[in-house]
Structure 1
Amino acid sequence: MTDVRGRLDRWGPLVLVVLLVAATGAVGAVVLGPPSGDAILDNVEQRYESAETVLGAATVTVENETMERTASVEYVAADGNNSRVTVTDADGRTVVVGSNGSVAWTYQPATGLTQTFDDETRVEELKARYDGRYADRMDRFTENVTVERTGTETVDGEAAYVLSIESENESITSTATLWVDRDDWTVLQSRVTSEKGTVTTQFTDTRFDVSVDESTFRAPDETGQLVDGADRERYDDFDAAQSATDLALPDLRDSYTFEGALVASYDGTATATAIYGTDAGTVYVGVTTGDEFAGAGDAEGGETVTIAGQDVTVASTQGGSIAYWTDDGTTTAVVTRGPPETAREVAETVLGA
């Protein structure tokens, strides 16, 4: 029902692989015998950068002493900063993120909500959020990196070189291991280990220079169907939207300005979302039969408060804030671009507090 950019951290292993390849690729000399680690990375870099398109799938596993999570990823990238990535977690929650070179967008099929923003705006948001620390961390990680070929192994039946990658910067505590196909320089697997845990990414079905239609990267419109089996319809009239769903659409028209509604369904989950204009900006208030918001409070340090006798989780998100609660198998969520106080205030209106 909202800005789903917070899920972007699931793609960290993919980004890290690209970063390491670009940062540590060096011109490899022609030698007899197995190539050096630097030479292997140089071949990987050339393999990916010379392709007009790259597409494939991956399984990402994050684990530490207390938990293990797995997500499946499908991705396609093309010249001109065109990309599309679909991520589905173990519970079936799916998010699609794409860019056509001029705008980036997100789409969550279970809620039907999309968000489109230009790349410059996104960069400024990232700068503001990290206050310069993100860029500094990237600069430090790409300096003084050593690469060592440690042997060969078989990954999914394919012979692979094993590379160990470490930073000589003492402030960088993570290490990476890459498994690279010995025949075509495709990355078969990566593993990143730090004090927070281990992220393992196994790449499958990687293909290069496959023809990809431009519509793949097109930002979604109001009626676009981006994922097979996902239905989505927008309404300008509250009563028409309510008639289209069995869920009780939150009616806050006495308190806020009704701006539209979305009714969506995907993979057994039904969602109805009312969009309101408030003094604090646009607010999304929706109900869903799924668990799209499970763990949202834990991820951003949320707290549980009691409103009108109902336990409500209130939390910050990357794009603003959220307040949600579950009653009789249905979850109601308030999503805003403002602080948690805004989400809580609207939740109080929904619950009649």
Structure 2
Amino acid sequence: MDGRRGLVLLVVVAVAVAGSAAVTGAFATFQQPTGDEVLDEVEQRYESADSITSTATVTVENESASTTATVELAADDENRTRMVVERNGETVRAGSNGTVAWYVGPNRSAAWPVDSLESQAGEQWTGADGEYGETDERLSPDGTPLNASNASATLVGTPTVDDTSTYEVELTHPEREGSTTLWVTQDDYRVVRAVATDGTNRTVVAVESTVFDVSIHDSTFDPPTDRVALTTVDRYDSFDAAQSETELSLPRHDATFSEAMVTVRQGETIVGQRYVDDGANVTVLSTTADERLDRLTENATERTVDGQTVHVATAEDRAIAVWRNDGVTTAVVVEGSTDRAVEIADELYSDS
């Protein structure tokens, strides 16, 4: 008998003796998906949904502390989201209706046009030499780009979680400490559990419910208008452009202008100008809301500049000079000594 045919015959006989149950189990093991294939199915499942609601319990712990929060999430395919987080008796709500992003917490509430947030996010992902590149690049904790294509996904088991058969997939990255493990249902690729470690903290997400393609009322995504006032943020690359868009009379530093940002919320205006002066950054803040700058003058000393009282303080490697005149509070923040801050304050106040 030919050796190859003999081997095939022995395999057939062995399968017949073992029985059909053994055959089913053998082929089930052989046909298990890879970790990457499971992640692809998860991505397609969530991205193809018209809407999704989910509830989870999130626990973050390390050697010295632990905290737990419940999270409720709603999202749809029109880039509208809403999240409610409850922790230690306090509730935080945040979301976006596609036009306005909003936040409501125990001590603070705010809303911003989505366009302004997207422009700022785009700048944060831009390096000195331009865009970091393709969308598979992300930032590591130390600020360097991470290439998501270098991450590895490994199917490490098929355990049962709450009477549900799952795929257990571990994700690691060669440039990042720790790992993330996902438990994904085998029948419809829902994530039911996730555990992430970073060398210090361990985060556990226990997903209690996930519903796809559910009807969500439009009002779910709108900010609570009784507590949230819209904040507008506009950026300008010249002093004249910034000055033309605000009623405040802006001081102008005799240095290289870099950019300005005008923020308006609840009738209050804050204008931040940034200059480069002999290689050092200088920031000039002007606002009608004096309480916004109160924290800058904690533990400050008083100096007199051209007859005006100026509060001077330091914070890390920066010096701050703050004064108020005609209902407008102005602050100078410099990389350097308090004398340098006072010198610039003198220049700006004298020219006002």
TM-score, normalisation: structure 1 = 0.52
Q: Find the counterpart in structure 2 of residue 137 from structure 1.
A: 139
Which residue identity is paired with 1:117?
Answer: W
Of residues 73, 76, 100, the one that matches 1:75 is 73
- Determine which structure has greater relative contact order: mean sequence separation of CA pairs < 8 Å that are 6+ residues apart, divided by chain length: 1
Instruction: Give the number of equivalent residue pairs.
Output: 219
Could you give the per-residue CA deviations for residues 74-108 of structure 1, whole angstroms, max 9, x where no partner exists?
Answer: 0001011011011111x122111111112211112
Pairwise CA distance, 1:47: 1.2
User: For the Cα contact (< 8 Å) 2:109–2:227, is it kept in 1?
Assistant: no
Pairwise CA distance, 1:275: 9.3
Pairwise CA distance, 1:276: 7.3
Could you give the per-residue CA deviations for residues 1-53 of structure 1, whole angstroms, max 9, x where no partner exists?
Answer: xxxxxxxxxxxxxxxxxxxxxxxxxxxxx995322212211211111111111
Q: Give me the CA root mean square deviation.
A: 3.9
SS at match of 2:149: coil
Pairwise CA distance, 1:178: 0.4
Pairwise CA distance, 1:171: 2.5
Q: Find the counterpart in structure 1 of residue 224 from structure 2.
A: 220
Of residues 62, 87, 94, the one that matches 2:91 is 94
Q: Structure 1 residues 122, 154: closer, same or farther in 2, change over 3 A?
A: same
Q: Find the counterpart in structure 1 of residue 55 from structure 2.
A: 57
Q: Find the counterpart in structure 1 of residue 104 from structure 2.
A: 107
Tell whether 2:144 aligns with 1:149: no
> 2:89, 2:291 → 1: CA distance?
22
User: For the Cα contact (< 8 Å) 2:55–2:70, is it kept in 1?
Assistant: yes
> 2:291, 2:185 → 1: CA distance?
48
> 1:181, 1:153 → 2: CA distance?
10
Q: Structure 1 residues 77, 282: closer, same or farther in 2, change over 3 A?
A: farther
Pairwise CA distance, 1:214: 0.8
Which residue identity is paired with 1:120?
Answer: D
SS at match of 2:158: strand
Q: Structure 1 residues 98, 175: closer, same or farther in 2, change over 3 A?
A: same
> 1:141, 1:198 → 2: CA distance?
23
User: For the Cα contact (< 8 Å) 1:61–1:70, is it kept in 2?
Assistant: yes
Q: Find the counterpart in structure 1 of residue 176 from structure 2.
A: 172
> 1:137, 1:154 → 2: CA distance?
34
1:289-308 paired onto structure 2 within 5 Å: none
Which residue identity is paired with 2:47?
Answer: E
After superposing the two structures, state which structure 1 stretch, 212-221 or 275-284, moved more.
Answer: 275-284
> 1:119, 1:35 → 2: CA distance?
39
Which residue identity is paired with 2:91?
Answer: T
User: For the Cα contact (< 8 Å) 2:99–2:115, is it kept in 1?
Assistant: no
> 2:209, 2:123 → 1: CA distance?
37
Of residues 163, 185, 188, the one that matches 1:184 is 188
User: For the Cα contact (< 8 Å) 2:155–2:168, is it kept in 1?
Assistant: yes
Q: Find the counterpart in structure 1 of residue 46 from structure 2.
A: 48
1:265-276 paired onto structure 2 within 5 Å: none
TM-score, normalisation: structure 2 = 0.52
Q: Find the counterpart in structure 1 of residue 205 from structure 2.
A: 201
SS at match of 2:189: coil
User: For the Cα contact (< 8 Å) 2:56–2:208, is it kept in 1?
Assistant: yes
Which structure has the larger Rg over C-alpha atoms? 2
Tell whether 2:151 aligns with 1:163: no
> 2:181, 2:94 → 1: CA distance?
27
1:319-338 paired onto structure 2 within 5 Å: none
> 1:36, 1:277 → 2: CA distance?
55
Q: Structure 1 residues 130, 93: closer, same or farther in 2, change over 3 A?
A: farther
SS at match of 1:48: helix
Which residue identity is paired with 2:67?
Answer: R
> 1:339, 1:195 → 2: CA distance?
40
Pairwise CA distance, 1:222: 2.6
> 1:177, 1:306 → 2: CA distance?
47
SS at match of 1:215: helix
Q: Find the counterpart in structure 1 of residue 215 from structure 2.
A: 211
> 1:121, 1:277 → 2: CA distance?
16
1:115-126 paired onto structure 2 within 5 Å: 115-126=110-121
User: For the Cα contact (< 8 Å) 1:276–1:284, is it kept in 2?
Assistant: no
User: For the Cα contact (< 8 Å) 2:59–2:203, is it kept in 1?
Assistant: yes
Q: Structure 1 residues 132, 72: closer, same or farther in 2, change over 3 A?
A: farther
Q: Find the counterpart in structure 2 of residue 24 from structure 1.
A: none
Consecutive unaligned residues of structure 1, counting only runs of 5 or more, are 1-29, 225-273, 287-301, 308-314, 317-335, 341-353
SS at match of 1:180: strand
